[in-house]
């Protein structure tokens, strides 16, 4: 992949993010949502999503209109029955969001919390599940978009599956890049969206669900019409169509983005590009004096959280504005404890894009230092 000079601004964000020109161009066509061609496109979408995580033949892909949070809420609402009990593992804002969802759904749950800079502790998880036989499912975030921390999914899956419980993985910031293999770890569900490592545009969330789990879902237990994954699945299985108006151009863009992922060599090769992006970013920012929030051992090459400079009066909000005027878009921090900013290493971007970002940061820092 080479840099595309026509992109303005350059989104170096955790999603929405910079997309490939091919992904954008397919959205110029109109599609009828009931047309056979679009029904076939939906079939391709579901098959390609399964392929990313080796989900066939044990799992099914269920796309849903809306953001990733729509898909998380639909998954919890549909798979966690009123008499089930969910253990939520949280070390960031998106773990906390699942807690909020479970509470609003009036589902039985308990939560374990860790600080934003620490990964989920395996011994605590093992102990909690072993001591409470009423826990039916465990839920966690693979890569916390809050900080970029990578939680030990495979080890947690081994623990949870070993105890005979279900596992729901929020893979919003990992699906399409970090390893997830459902043939090795046949968990209950993996939830993600179109606009992060798959490099599509926003508008679709999806859940990759174990066939037996979705077949056991009961409509009477699901407190939502539009977020009913069981009905959504039955609709796809019966006639290949979405129950309600789908974002047709977003579907087309995601199918094209999945083709690009395949052409790149799959998630393993995409991860290598993201790692090169991250390495370029980290090295350049550290040379300017910025410090990373996370220790290297727990940092995923997806989203990097930086702390402000100690010797320059440059708040994260000021850096955000200064970079935007230079054609770059980053995200303000989402940490609860301190000022920070986030830079995404994902999207249709390459190391030279991050070299250009570093040059812009160097100019901004030099101007600030010259005034102090």
- Cβ atoms < 10 Å from Cβ of 274: 22
CB 304, CB 280: distance < 8 Å: no
DSSP helix, strand, coil percent of the chain (3-state; round to 5): 45, 15, 40
Read off the DSSP letter of residue 309. P
Rounded to 5°, the CA angle 53-194-270 comes to 55
Q: Is the dihedral of CA 88, 94, 96, 102 positive or negative?
A: negative
> Which residue, among 171, 193, 172, has the nearest Cα to 247 in the 3D structure?
193
d(CA 25, CA 209) in angstroms, rounded, equals 31
Read off the DSSP letter of residue 219. G
CB 10, CB 18: distance < 8 Å: yes
Residue 320: burial class (beta carbons within 10 Å; 0-12, 13-18, 19+): middle
Three-class SS state of 297: helix
Residue 342 annotated as lining a ligand binding site: yes
150-165 per-residue burial string, b: 16 or more CB within 10 A, e: under 16:
bbbbeebbbbbbeeeb
349-365 per-residue burial string, b: 16 or more CB within 10 A, e: under 16:
bbbebbebbbebbeebb
d(CA 172, CA 144) in angstroms, rounded, equals 9
Beta bridge partners, 331, equal 342
d(CA 67, CA 206) in angstroms, rounded, equals 9
d(CA 53, CA 56) in angstroms, rounded, equals 9
Q: Which residues sit in the known binding site?
A: 342
Q: Which residues sit in the known binding site for substrate?
A: 342
């Amino acid at each position: 992949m080479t840099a595309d000079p026509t992109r303005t601004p350059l989104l170096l964000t955790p999603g929405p993010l910079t997309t490939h020109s091919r992904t954008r161009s397919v959205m110029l066509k109109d599609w009828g949502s009931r047309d056979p061609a679009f029904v076939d496109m939906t079939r391709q979408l579901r098959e390609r999503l399964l392929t990313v995580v080796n989900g066939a033949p044990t799992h099914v892909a269920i796309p849903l209109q809306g953001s990733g949070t729509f898909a998380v809420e639909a998954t919890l609402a549909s798979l966690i029955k009123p008499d089930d009990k969910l253990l939520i593992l949280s070390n960031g804002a998106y773990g906390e969001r699942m807690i909020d969802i479970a509470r609003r759904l009036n589902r039985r749950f308990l939560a374990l919390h860790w600080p934003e800079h620490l990964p989920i502790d395996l011994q605590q998880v093992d102990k909690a599940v072993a001591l409470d036989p009423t826990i039916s499912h465990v839920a966690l975030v693979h890569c916390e978009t809050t900080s970029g921390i990578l939680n030990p999914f495979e080890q947690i899956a081994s623990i949870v599956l070993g105890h005979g419980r279900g596992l729901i993985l929020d893979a919003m910031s990992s699906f399409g890049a970090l390893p997830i293999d459902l043939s090795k770890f046949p968990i209950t569900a993996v939830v993600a969206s179109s606009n992060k490592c798959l490099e599509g545009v926003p508008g679709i969330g999806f859940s990759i669900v174990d066939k037996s789990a979705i077949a056991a879902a009961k409509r009477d237990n699901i407190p939502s019409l539009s977020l009913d994954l069981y009905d959504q699945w039955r609709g796809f299985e019966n006639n290949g169509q979405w129950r309600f108006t789908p974002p047709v151009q977003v579907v087309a863009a995601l199918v094209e983005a999945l083709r690009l992922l395949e052409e790149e060599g799959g998630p393993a090769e995409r991860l290598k590009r993201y790692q090169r992006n991250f390495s370029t970013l980290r090295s350049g920012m550290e040379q300017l004096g910025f410090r990373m929030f996370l220790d290297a051992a727990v940092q995923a090459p997806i989203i990097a959280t930086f702390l402000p400079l100690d010797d320059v009066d440059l708040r994260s909000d000021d850096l955000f504005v200064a970079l935007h005027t230079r054609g770059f878009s980053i995200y303000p921090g989402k940490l609860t404890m301190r000022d920070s900013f986030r830079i995404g290493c994902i999207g249709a971007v390459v190391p030279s894009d991050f070299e250009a970002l570093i040059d812009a940061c160097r100019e901004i820092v030099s101007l600030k230092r010259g005034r102090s």
